[in-house]
Structure 1
Amino acid sequence: MLRHLYDAPSPDAKRFRYGLLALDVASIAWIVGASFVPPGAFELTVDALFGLVLLGEFGMRLAASGRPWRTLVRPVNLADLLAILSLLLAPLLQGAFAFLRVLRTLRLLHSVRLIGSLRSDLPFFRRNEEATLAAAHLVVFVFVMSGVVFETQHRTNPQIANYVDALYFTVTALTTTGFGDITLPGLAGRLLSVVIMLAGVTLFLRLAQALFRPVKVRFPCPSCGLQRHEPDAVHCKACGALLNIPDEGG
């Protein structure tokens, strides 16, 4: 039953996965919103509620995989588990443990995987899969680095008062605009700025490459297994096998 919900193309399974996507969006919205809320009982309660719900979903995902231990040790799932624990352990995330709150933004990785699994319902995604994933990875990087900036700076840097300030700095550093109204002081701050700029250039180049590369469709060749072909291809360019690529007509 669980495997059906996570993998099947049926309408009820797709509704379940859309619900998971909505849960991820809500959790990310709370990550941003919580930076404006003074630490207190309300924030800790919402953290705990999100943590319990996400932990339940994580357990269901492991059970649905059929190989829970092998699935658990995958880096992306370990990151997801750490993000969930950072919510459940919010009362302890003070002082030396505060940096763990950054892991909340890693829920975006889960959202990207969900979008990929729903490609059959999203014609735009199917037509522009590579560019969409490149853009999604750039967004994930921006949010994660904004979380790093916020958690490492907001206690000592008056220019970083909330997540939006951190997001603003990350985007200006990423685009090398550098307005200079917000800076990260000290050696650690400068090194973090350098990492954002260098990684940002790489991700932007990847996105540009995906946008301007000729569009191809993903369809495994029945003979040689080649995955990507021209949209109007009749034969595989690698082995010459006859293809039957479905299209939407028009």
Structure 2
Amino acid sequence: MQELHRTIRLLYSGQSQRARRFRYGLIIFDALTIVYFVATAALPMTPFTIALNTGLGLLIFLDLAARLWISENLRRELTRIYTLADLLVVLSLLLAPLIAENFGFLRVLRGLRLIHAYHLLRDLRRESLFFRRHEDAILAAVNLFVFIFVTTSFVFVLAFNEEASIAGYVDALYFTVATLTTTGFGDITMTTTGGKLLSVFIMVVGVALFVQLARAIFQPSKIKYKCPECGLNRHEPDAIHCKHCGGSLKIETEGDTGT
């Protein structure tokens, strides 16, 4: 058992080629499941999708169980938002076959898989120099993407019937984007008090996320690297000394490729 624990820990945190391939496989799996849950949010349940969802639930559960098993601080790991989201997603996937109807709240819980994108980004920060160079813009785009589709799931469940299917989900997405951009065409509106409060929330948070994305795209690009002397963690990509304390920096770069 100790050998198995050591093997799994090395796969998740080691620097060998095998470990890197394993983590890239996890990144691909995370991305594909996120796309799958977004694409099938409004589709009716069939025996095939129930079986596929159950299989995905088991795989996500195994990944979650492995992370918890090798964690040095189990309490902290259990309180991470993407860990809690994964727990809810696994429950929604494994409980669905036991429930006669595909309740809307189960679809919303599957949308929480988007939160796992932040765990994916943590892996990319460790594996990709390109990501570390453009982390602010990528993270801002992910924040906006997650907000749009999680909110769309709530709007779809609250304002549309199950029979609305894909057309209803597209309308929910249209309403969400029109509201958060404050365009307000008025062809789809919320009439209840809860719906109006949800619209206000979408507008306030959506505008803030758009501003965050624009600032990340147009501000000078900096790379995240903690200065060993003063702790400053943002520097120019080619910096060799910290602007704050003058300490020596060793930021990983791809080198000069000019001819």
- What's the TM-score, normalizing by structure 1? 0.87
Aligned-pair CA distance for 1:58: 0.8
Paired letter, 2:180: L
Deviates more, 1:89-98 or 1:104-113: 89-98
Provide the residue aligned with 1:204 in structure 2.
Answer: 210
Provide the residue aligned with 2:82 in structure 1.
Answer: 76
Distance 1:19 1:96, change over 3 A: closer
Q: Distance in 1 between matches of 2:21 and 2:63?
A: 15
Q: Distance in 2 between matches of 1:139 and 1:43?
A: 24
RMSD of aligned Cα (Å): 2.6
Gap runs ≥5 in structure 1: none
Contact 2:85 2:115 in 1 (8 A): no
Q: Distance in 1 between matches of 2:221 and 2:103?
A: 46
Match of 1:167, SS state, is helix
Match of 1:118, SS state, is helix
Distance 1:86 1:155, change over 3 A: same
Aligned: 1:241 with 2:247: yes
Paired letter, 2:203: M
Deviations 1:91-121 (A, max 9, x none): 4667896424312122222223223322354
Distance 1:194 1:94, change over 3 A: farther
Contact 1:17 1:114 in 2 (8 A): no
Contact 2:85 2:116 in 1 (8 A): no
Deviations 1:25-58 (A, max 9, x none): 3323332343453234333222222111111111
Provide the residue aligned with 2:19 in structure 1.
Answer: 13
Q: Distance in 2 between matches of 1:159 and 1:184?
A: 19
Aligned: 1:57 with 2:63: yes
Deviates more, 1:193-202 or 1:41-50: 41-50
Distance 1:225 1:93, change over 3 A: farther
Q: Distance in 1 between matches of 2:68 and 2:87?
A: 11
Deviates more, 1:129-138 or 1:4-13: 4-13
Q: Distance in 1 between matches of 2:132 and 2:123?
A: 11
Contact 2:42 2:165 in 1 (8 A): no
The partner residue of 1:141 within 143, 147, 153 is 147
Distance 1:147 1:237, change over 3 A: same
Aligned-pair CA distance for 1:71: 1.3
Q: Distance in 2 between matches of 1:28 and 1:195?
A: 24
Aligned-pair CA distance for 1:145: 0.7
Provide the residue aligned with 1:132 in structure 2.
Answer: 138
Distance 1:94 1:151, change over 3 A: farther
Q: Distance in 1 between matches of 2:232 and 2:111?
A: 35
The partner residue of 1:119 within 122, 125, 138 is 125
Q: Distance in 1 between matches of 2:200 and 2:45?
A: 31
> Within 5 Å, which residues of 2 pair with 1:127-206?
127-155=133-161, 161-206=167-212
Distance 1:170 1:83, change over 3 A: same
Q: Distance in 1 between matches of 2:108 and 2:220?
A: 37
Q: Distance in 1 between matches of 2:169 and 2:191?
A: 18
Aligned-residue identity in percent: 50
- What's the TM-score, normalizing by structure 2? 0.84
Distance 1:246 1:128, change over 3 A: same
Deviates more, 1:82-91 or 1:133-142: 82-91
Q: Distance in 2 between matches of 1:132 and 1:43?
A: 31
> Within 5 Å, which residues of 2 pair with 1:219-234?
219-234=225-240
Deviates more, 1:210-219 or 1:94-103: 94-103
